[in-house]
């Protein structure tokens, strides 16, 4: 967007397959059927293309919208509490599953439970988070849990994020208020949100197994629950790659009933050029992301160095710190761990645009074309040809912004409304 396009009102544009190119969803209770494009038109008032979307008047471009999200202190809002469960992958790595739990009546007892459940040598968790006790975990994994039928929303965070992010807490707060009984869980991937790295492997945009394995466990644990999934930024890319990786022989195909992808970088090559060509990307976002990624390595250096010292060593860490670019981090670490010759080879392969045509579940996509972090060349034709995907595009919103006058995030209101209305219909 140019300088004359700045403002606080933006149009909403929708791209999707029309008529025979739009998927049909059925109401299991009544047998009624409706096309996906009709569903969005009639059931989603937040996506009314005939109305302007009004955002915060002081955040009048994508940079300001993005910086608000990245820097704003919202510690006094969305006071969500989490119980943490560790999940071990087949390769020995771990992620942490942060489940939204009710606000404790006794805050002092919550603090005492935090102290008693924190594993030895584990980093201090974010506020209002604690590990589950062994008895609490046993209850969650018990066969009696099969009786639970309320839906479950699974969240994948962005690069450098986790369950502590205001955007994710805003979403969890909306679900808690508007859909009583629903569960929300955040998958904090390897090294993120104070989760340890226990192998020589880091996460990548192609780590679809890191999405699949927890989902398979949730389906086994709760066979009667509808599972919805939402990904933000890098997490959206991981989720899109998982959804588009369907194998006809796969045992877990169809776990996710519907999905939402927010701020997804569809083309990693374009996104990298885009990130390095703007002032915001070059001097603010790129150094911050690079710093976070490097901290994952330094915080888990003993484990990583012990597993692959030829990759994870002080020489490479120093190079990455000096460069302050995600491109350098990917060149030194990501590509070598994942088996790619250079970052561009990795970026071409990891781009979710390669797999969008294979997405088989109803998927809502939200992107803003003033996003300073990811490329804005959106896959319009692929979306029009996939009956299951609907793109919502705005001129203003930045990267994971869409901040309204009250400080809430419009994008999470859309995601919550989508899952709620979809569950009502089907």
* Region for residue 137 given its phi and psi (left: phi exceeds 0; alpha: psi -120 to 50; beta: otherwise): alpha
**Catalytic: which of 157, 176, 274, 399?**
399
Q: What is the DSSP letter of 330?
A: I
Q: How many CA atoms lie less than 13 Å away from 425 in the CB half-sphere?
A: 23
Contact call for residues 99 and 185 (beta carbons, < 8 A) = yes
399 is catalytic: yes
**Catalytic: which of 233, 271, 290, 368?**
233
Is residue 115 helix, strand or coil? helix
Is residue 21 helix, strand or coil? helix
CA 350 to chain centre: 16
7 token code pair: 């403002």
Give just the sign of the alpha carbon dihedral 69, 177, 56, 271: positive
Q: Measure the CA angle with vertex 63, ends 57 and 69; round to 5°.
A: 80
Contact call for residues 35 and 24 (beta carbons, < 8 A) = yes
- What's the CA gap between 425 and 74, in Å, rounded? 34
- What's the CA gap between 340 and 334, in Å, rounded? 8
Specify the DSSP element, H or E, that contains 425: helix 410-425
Specify the DSSP element, H or E, that contains 304: helix 301-307
364 token code pair: 């809502």
- What's the CA gap between 148 and 224, in Å, rounded? 7
233 is catalytic: yes
Max Cα–Cα distance, the chain, nearest Å: 64
**Catalytic: which of 371, 382, 395, 408?**
371
- Could you tell me whether strands 256-262 and 227-232 are parallel, antiparallel, or unpaired per DSSP bridges? parallel
Please list the active-site residues: 233, 371, 399
């Amino acid at each position: 967007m140019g300088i004359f396009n700045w403002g606080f009102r933006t149009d909403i544009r929708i791209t999707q397959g029309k008529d025979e190119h739009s998927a049909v969803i059925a109401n299991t209770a009544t047998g009624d059927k409706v096309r996906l494009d009709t569903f969005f038109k009639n059931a989603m008032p937040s996506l009314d293309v005939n109305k302007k979307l009004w955002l915060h008047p002081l955040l009048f471009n994508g940079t300001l919208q993005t910086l608000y999200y990245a820097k704003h202190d919202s510690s006094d809002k969305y006071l969500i509490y989490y119980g943490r469960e560790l999940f071990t992958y087949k390769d020995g790595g771990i992620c942490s599953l942060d489940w939204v739990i009710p606000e404790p009546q006794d805050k002092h007892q919550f603090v005492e439970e935090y102290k008693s459940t924190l594993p030895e040598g584990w980093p201090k968790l974010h506020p209002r988070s604690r590990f589950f006790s062994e008895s609490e975990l046993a209850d969650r994994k018990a066969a009696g849990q099969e009786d639970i039928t309320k839906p479950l929303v699974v969240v994948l965070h962005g690069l450098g994020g986790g369950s502590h992010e205001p955007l994710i807490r805003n979403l969890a707060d909306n679900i808690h208020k508007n859909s009583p009984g629903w569960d929300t869980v955040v998958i904090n991937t390897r090294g993120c949100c104070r989760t340890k790295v226990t192998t020589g492997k880091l996460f990548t945009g192609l780590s679809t197994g890191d999405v699949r394995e927890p989902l398979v466990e949730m389906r086994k644990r709760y066979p009667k629950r509808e599972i919805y999934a939402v990904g933000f930024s890098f997490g959206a890319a991981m989720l899109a790659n998982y959804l588009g990786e369907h194998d006809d022989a796969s045992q877990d195909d169809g776990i996710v009933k519907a999905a939402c992808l927010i701020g997804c970088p569809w083309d990693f090559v374009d996104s990298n050029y885009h990130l390095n060509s703007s002032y915001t990307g070059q001097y603010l976002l790129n150094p911050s992301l690079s710093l976070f990624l490097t901290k994952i390595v330094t915080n888990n250096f003993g484990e990583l160095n012990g597993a692959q010292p030829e990759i994870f060593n002080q020489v490479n860490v120093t190079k990455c710190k000096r460069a302050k670019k995600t491109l350098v981090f990917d060149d030194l670490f990501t590509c070598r761990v994942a088996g790619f010759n250079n970052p561009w080879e990795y970026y071409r392969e990891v781009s979710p645009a390669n797999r969008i045509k294979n997405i088989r579940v109803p998927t809502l996509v939200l992107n803003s074309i003033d996003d300073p972090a990811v490329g804005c060349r959106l896959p319009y034709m692929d979306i029009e040809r996939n009956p299951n995907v609907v793109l919502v595009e705005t001129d203003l919103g930045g990267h994971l912004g869409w901040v309204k006058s009250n400080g809430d995030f419009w994008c999470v209101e859309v995601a919550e409304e989508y899952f709620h209305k979809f569950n009502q219909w089907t």
